[in-house]
């Protein structure tokens, strides 16, 4: 049995770690933020469960699983506050809820390109899931070559005093797109790589992104002809 140990946040310790911020939130606001975090985590669990159920249902109906695997992550409080500070938002629960949508995140890795849209469609059909934002970097890749479908949905979390809608960011991409993004992320965020190499590998990765797209489409066609 694996026991999940929740991240225990120590209020005073957290406050002392936020020294570099322009408008450091007071302890009262920080404590409200911790409550907000718990709510967002509950929303993330709701969506993960929905996705797992949809994948199982698909398996029964079509003898095939669109989801290869899923990863979920909560932005940690420090990086959330740093992001809000960097973007010039007020460091209050109200302002963070209005402006930042990737506090709770789920990455869904699919087997094939069409599965990305199948999953989006199945999720949107659920009566308690509402689409808030959508960026299709599969149809419109970034100049880096990055491909992925980013959606933000809201889902109700049932609290003692009633339901509260919570946004969850879902990045949906194929195994190939995910492999590409991990390597490209390493290239961009490693600070000790020479600029010349970053440019060279960046160009190479951009070409590979196009090649991967062709290969994944071709493999999808083979897969479909075998069903
Ligand atoms: P922020 O969330 O504030 O960064 O802005 P945004 O919502 O406009 O961002 P975007 O839709 O571009 O997606 C942000 C996330 O997508 C990042 O945290 C990465 O995980 C991923 N991402 C976006 N662009 C790239 C890219 O060029 N390369 C890689 N490897 N990942 C990317
Ligand atoms: Mg974002």
Domain count, the chain: 1
The phi and psi torsions of 95 (rounded to 5 degrees) equal -70, -40
CATH number of the domain that residue 72 is part of: 3.30.460.10
Q: What's the pTM? A: 0.91
Domain annotation covers residue 10: no
Least confident of 20-24, 48-52, 133-137: 20-24
Domain annotation covers residue 82: yes
Name every protein residue with a CB atom under 6 angstroms from any ligand 1 atom.
102, 135, 142, 144, 146, 150, 181, 184-185
Which residue is closest in CA terms to ligand 1's atom 26? 146
Give distance in angstroms: CA of 172 to centre of ligand 1: 12
Domain annotation covers residue 222: no
Domain annotation covers residue 46: yes
Domain annotation covers residue 104: yes
Maximum distance among all alpha carbons in the chain? 60
Domain annotation covers residue 207: no
Which residue is closest in CA terms to ligand 1's atom 1? 102
Domain annotation covers residue 7: no
Distances in Å between the Cα of 219 and the Cα atoms of 33, 212, 216, 226 are 45, 10, 5, 11
Give the residue-averaged pLDDT of 148-162.
96
Pocket test for ligand 1, best of 86, 102, 169 (most atoms within 8 A of CB): 102
Domain annotation covers residue 212: no
Strand partners, 151: 134, 170
Distances in Å between the Cα of 131 and the Cα atoms of 33, 44, 122, 223 are 24, 15, 12, 30
Here the ipTM equals 0.94
User: Residue 142 belongs to what domain range?
Assistant: 17-175
pLDDT tier, 78 (very low <50, low <70, confident <90, very high otherwise): confident
200-223 confidence digits (pLDDT tens): 999 999 999 999 999 999 999 999
* Average of per-residue pLDDT values in the chain: 92
How far apart CA 113 and CA 93 sit, in angstroms, is: 37
């Amino acid at each position: 049995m694996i026991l999940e140990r929740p991240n225990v946040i120590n209020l005073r310790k957290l406050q002392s770690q936020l020294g570099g911020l322009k408008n450091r939130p007071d302890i009262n606001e920080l404590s409200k933020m911790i409550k907000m975090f718990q709510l967002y985590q509950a929303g993330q669990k709701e969506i993960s469960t929905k996705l797992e159920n949809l994948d199982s249902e698909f398996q029964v109906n079509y003898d095939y699983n669109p989801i290869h695997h899923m990863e979920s992550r909560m932005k940690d409080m420090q990086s959330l506050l740093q992001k809000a500070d960097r973007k010039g938002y007020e460091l209050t629960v109200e302002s963070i809820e209005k402006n930042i949508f990737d506090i709770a995140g789920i990455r869904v890795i699919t087997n094939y390109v069409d599965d990305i849209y199948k999953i989006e469609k199945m999720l949107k059909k659920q009566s308690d899931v509402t689409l808030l934002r959508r960026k299709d970097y599969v149809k419109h890749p970034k100049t880096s070559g990055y491909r992925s479908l980013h959606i933000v949905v809201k889902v109700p979390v049932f609290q003692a005093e009633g339901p509260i809608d919570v946004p969850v960011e879902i990045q949906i991409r194929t195994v190939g797109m995910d492999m590409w993004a991990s390597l490209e992320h390493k290239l961009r965020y490693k600070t000790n790589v020479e600029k010349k190499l970053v440019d060279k590998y960046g160009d190479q990765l951009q070409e590979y992104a196009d090649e991967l797209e062709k290969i994944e489409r071709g493999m999808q066609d083979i897969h479909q002809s075998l069903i």
